[in-house]
Amino acid sequence: MAAILGSCQPTPENNFKITGKIEGAATGFVLLQEKLEGGFTTVDSVKIENGGFEFRGNIDFPEVYFINVPATKSLVPFFLEASEINITLNTKDIDQTKITGSVTQGEYDKYLDVIDKYNARLRENYSFYAKAEEIGDAAKAAHFDSVIVNIDNEKAQFTKDYIKNNNASPIMPYLLYRNLYNYDMRELNEVMANMDTTLRASAYTPILDEYLKTLKRTDIGNIFVSFMMKDTADVNHSMYDMVGKGYLLLDFWASWCRPCREENPNLVAVYNDFKDKGFDILGVSLDKDREAWKKAIRDDKLTWTHLSDLAYWENKVAKLYGVRSIPANFLIDPNGIIIAKDLRGDELRKKLEEVLNKPAS
């Protein structure tokens, strides 16, 4: 825990004071919370008095914390640092909440100003796409879908450039943590190697270190990591029992994931063409609704083995393999070696044609 409330011997230069005002009627308590991996942890709580609240404590490094007002279902993230911070919380429109006194928050706000412009463009084009879909104009829908992809790529590249060019900024580890799904192992390794040593104090840095280890462990050329998980009938399966019989695709997906559902017809076609030639698929779903998961399997005609712990993004196998975005997959050879990752469409077909037609050594 980065913030130590009521410390016996606080260091003066690490002290913080949060003075808050809640616009609109509010009663009950205000919670100061943090969230790293997993759920929220309440660090401190105070009673609302005369529409206000106050927290005091100390903190060693600027980190993202949350002001939570349960009575109004208001949750405000902000960078907490050793300073006097003022928060005017608008419970009717969280975006209108004002935070002053945190230099780190000010830097983060400038970054968000740019991201908000990208998001506005995305919303506009999503609207155009939806209208084209509604009237059945496939050409226009395809155009706006392409525009959306390009804006999304621009947005991702802006964040990558920001992280690279601000390698000593206290917001850098947090931004990297929030955008890990855009990094492969080599990119992350390079960014972490260039991170200023002062950022080792961030609570996010050990998480980044651990994630990098996971990516290295599941990189191409390494042996697969085995696991056990239950299928749709609640029967346990071990991946170990499926490896060694041919080429196995470990596929991560979910019923709610549109790109996954769009990719499923390609998987079905490849599976049907190669299942009798030494190829199989093991699906791991990041669903949380059992019926939605089972329905998607039926609707998409996915006839291979499917496993899930129905834990959404906390899926233990996804964590084991460092999966932060889906669809994602790992192609494993008969010796249990990961030989390719994230093959989609024709890429998977071409890879299988290559390895299955290769003469035995």
Mean pLDDT of 290-296: 97
Mean pLDDT of 192-218: 95
207: nearest Cα among 29, 38, 85:
38
The C-alpha atoms of residue 81 and residue 58 are separated, in whole angstroms, by 8
255-278 residue pLDDT tens = 999 999 999 999 999 999 999 999
The C-alpha atoms of residue 279 and residue 285 are separated, in whole angstroms, by 20
| Torsion, CA 183, CA 323, CA 64, CA 208, rounded to 10 | -60
Which residues have a Cβ under 8 Å from the Cβ of 109 and sit 6 or more positions away?
Answer: 99
81-115 residue pLDDT tens = 999 999 998 888 888 899 999 999 999 999 999 99
pLDDT given for residue 25 in this prediction: 64
Mean pLDDT of 297-324: 96
Neighbours of 96 (CB within 10 A): 11
Instruction: Collect contacts of 160-166 with beta carbons under 8 A, ≥24 apart.
Output: 160/187, 162/111, 163/191, 164/191, 164/194
pLDDT given for residue 307 in this prediction: 98
- Burial of 244-257, coded b for 16+ CB within 10 Å and e otherwise, reads eebbbbbbbbbbbb
Q: What H or E segment, with its residue span, contains residue 158?
A: helix 138-165
23-82 residue pLDDT tens = 876 778 999 999 988 789 999 999 999 889 999 999 999 999 999 998 888 899 999 999
pLDDT confidence tier of residue 361, bands split at 50, 70 and 90: very low
Residue 238 token pair: 């071990």
Region at 275 (left for phi over 0; alpha for psi -120 to 50; beta for the rest): alpha
pLDDT given for residue 296 in this prediction: 97
pLDDT given for residue 71 in this prediction: 84
The C-alpha atoms of residue 108 and residue 212 are separated, in whole angstroms, by 24
Mean pLDDT, the chain, rounded, equals 92
The C-alpha atoms of residue 64 and residue 66 are separated, in whole angstroms, by 7
126-174 residue pLDDT tens = 999 999 999 999 999 999 999 999 999 999 999 999 999 999 999 999 9
The pairing of beta strand 98-100 with beta strand 84-90: antiparallel
Phi, psi angle pair for 5, to nearest 5°: -85, 135
pLDDT confidence tier of residue 4, bands split at 50, 70 and 90: very low
59: nearest Cα among 45, 43, 41:
43
pLDDT given for residue 160 in this prediction: 97
The C-alpha atoms of residue 37 and residue 41 are separated, in whole angstroms, by 10
The C-alpha atoms of residue 225 and residue 23 are separated, in whole angstroms, by 52
Please count the CA atoms within 13 angstroms of the CA of 96 that sit on its side-chain side: 8
pTM: 0.84
pLDDT given for residue 300 in this prediction: 97
**Beta-sheet strand order (sheet of 328-332):** 305-307, 279-285, 247-253, 328-332, 338-341
CA 253 to chain centre: 14
The C-alpha atoms of residue 49 and residue 298 are separated, in whole angstroms, by 55
The answer on pLDDT for 317 being more than 90 is yes
Distances (CA, A) of 214 to 65, 217, 309: 26, 5, 20
Percent of the chain with pLDDT over 90: 84
Mean pLDDT of 352-359: 83
Percent of the chain with pLDDT over 70: 95
The C-alpha atoms of residue 343 and residue 332 are separated, in whole angstroms, by 12
pLDDT given for residue 2 in this prediction: 46
Helix (H, G, I), strand (E, B) or coil at 7: coil
Region at 135 (left for phi over 0; alpha for psi -120 to 50; beta for the rest): alpha
Phi, psi angle pair for 200, to nearest 5°: -65, -20
Domains of the chain with CATH codes:
3-100 (2.60.40.1120), 104-217 (no CATH), 228-356 (3.40.30.10)
The answer on pLDDT for 12 being more than 70 is no
